[in-house]
Amino acid sequence: MGLQHLGVGESPRKRNAVKCPYCGHNDSRVIDSRETETKGGGSVRRRRECIACKQRYTTYERLEHVGLSVVKKTGQREDYDREKLRRGVATACHRLPIPADAVDNLVDDVESELFKQGVSEISSQAIGEFVMSRLRKLDDIAYLRFASVYLSFTSLRELQEAIERVSHD
Ligand SMILES: [Zn+2]
């Protein structure tokens, strides 16, 4: 696969060093590492355990490797960050009766959708829509929470419209 050089503790670019999504510590132990095939190519999925807080999390190294850029509404670009996306989804699902795996599975689905696009840049809006279409099927409340942050609702009317979209499906 040509990805073997992305060994433990190595990062193609230093600023992409893996940080614990829970405490921000940047040293982790790899528990499990496997290559996964998605429609657009391969990626390396790693389960990591934070050295500091012992929380476990998953990283995918292919997207960082190919350098997918996310174009924000402001026109600014930033590197695609799976953990950031995952945090957004996990926050929306907080304390809802959603299986623990569902968040990672949803993020997997979204990433495979991103791979399929075969582009080097994607708008944050497009990513948000991939997430929202899946969250809607998963849980209405999670969907509304995510949408309210993502679409930055500025009025009750916008929120009501989103609620109507959910209840009409
Ligand atoms: Zn940690």
Q: Could you tell me if 61 and 108 lie in one domain?
A: no
Using the mean position of ligand 1's atoms as its centre, give its distance from the Cα of residue 75 in Å: 32
- pLDDT for res 93: 94
- pLDDT for res 42: 58
Using the mean position of ligand 1's atoms as its centre, give its distance from the Cα of residue 26 in Å: 8
Q: Could you tell me if 43 and 71 lie in one domain?
A: no
Q: Could you tell me if 90 and 131 lie in one domain?
A: yes
Structural domain ending residue among the three candidates 26, 50, 66: 66
Total structural domains within the chain: 2
Residue 90, Cβ neighbours under 10 Å: how many? Answer: 18
Q: Could you tell me if 123 and 88 lie in one domain?
A: yes
Task: Give me the residues paired with residue 80 across strands.
Answer: none
Using the mean position of ligand 1's atoms as its centre, give its distance from the Cα of residue 48 in Å: 10
Using the mean position of ligand 1's atoms as its centre, give its distance from the Cα of residue 49 in Å: 8
Q: Whole domain around residue 148: which residue ranges?
A: 67-169
Q: Could you tell me if 1 and 12 lie in one domain?
A: yes
Using the mean position of ligand 1's atoms as its centre, give its distance from the Cα of residue 99 in Å: 22
- pLDDT for res 91: 92
Q: Could you tell me if 47 and 89 lie in one domain?
A: no
**What is residue 70's DSSP assignment?**
E
Return the residue matching tokens 């190519």: 41
As averages over each run of 10 residues, the pLDDT of the chain (169 residues) reads 39 54 89 67 78 89 67 89 89 90 89 80 90 92 88 76 74
The CA distances from residue 150 to 1, 47, 83, in Å, are 35, 27, 16
Structural domain ending residue among the three candidates 66, 85, 107: 66
CA-closest candidate to residue 131, choices 142, 120, 117, 121: 142
- pLDDT for res 54: 94
Structural domain ending residue among the three candidates 48, 66, 84: 66
Q: Residue 62 belongs to a domain with what CATH number?
A: 2.40.10
Q: Could you tell me if 43 and 88 lie in one domain?
A: no
Using the mean position of ligand 1's atoms as its centre, give its distance from the Cα of residue 140 in Å: 30
Q: Could you tell me if 103 and 163 lie in one domain?
A: yes
pTM exceeds 0.85: no
- pLDDT for res 63: 52
Using the mean position of ligand 1's atoms as its centre, give its distance from the Cα of residue 23 in Å: 4
> Do strands 56-60 and 28-38 pair parallel, antiparallel, or not at all (unpaired)?
unpaired
